[in-house]
Amino acid sequence: MAAEQTEYRSPLPRALARRVGQGVPAALLRYRVMAWIVGVLLIALILIAVPVKYFGGISEPVVVIGTLHGWLYFIFFLTACDLALRARWTLKGSVLVILAGTIPILSFVAERIATRKTRAGERV
């Protein structure tokens, strides 16, 4: 008699497989909103708050905008990861998009490229 083999499969891959590809438009919208918010705050931090601190001696704008940018960047990170999983982005594309949120102006460029490719069904 042949021994019957029972194959163990983790429920995680199935759950992830069900989620991948679903809800991409909503995830894309969340990502786009957070990319713009993080980008605007980073520009405000670099172009307004930092000069006010060093030329005016007022450090409160850096503290407020910097802290706000930091917390919202974390939310941006989560929304970008969510979109990357749902839209099946490559690891390289995902990392580049996430890092773009740390460089002024580049978050807007990365957002446009990611939006265009995701809407076209391409991998980022």
CA 47 – CA 44 distance, rounded (Å) = 5
| Contact indicator for 67, 100 with CB cutoff of 8 Å | no
CA 68 – CA 84 distance, rounded (Å) = 24
Confidence of residue 9 (pLDDT cuts 50, 70, 90): low
CA 74 – CA 72 distance, rounded (Å) = 5
Confidence of residue 115 (pLDDT cuts 50, 70, 90): very high
Q: Quick one: average pLDDT of 3-20?
A: 53
User: What pLDDT is recorded for position 37?
Assistant: 94
Hey, where are the domains in the chain? Answer: 23-119
User: What pLDDT is recorded for position 17?
Assistant: 46
User: What pLDDT is recorded for position 124?
Assistant: 86
Dihedral sign computed on CA atoms, order 68, 37, 108, 80: positive
Q: Quick one: average pLDDT of 54-82?
A: 94
Q: Quick one: average pLDDT of 13-38?
A: 78
User: What pLDDT is recorded for position 41?
Assistant: 94
What's the whole-number average pLDDT of the chain?
Answer: 86
Confidence of residue 101 (pLDDT cuts 50, 70, 90): confident
Is the model's pLDDT at 85 over the cut of 90? yes
Residues 6+ apart with CB under 8 A from 114: 31, 83, 89, 93, 97, 124
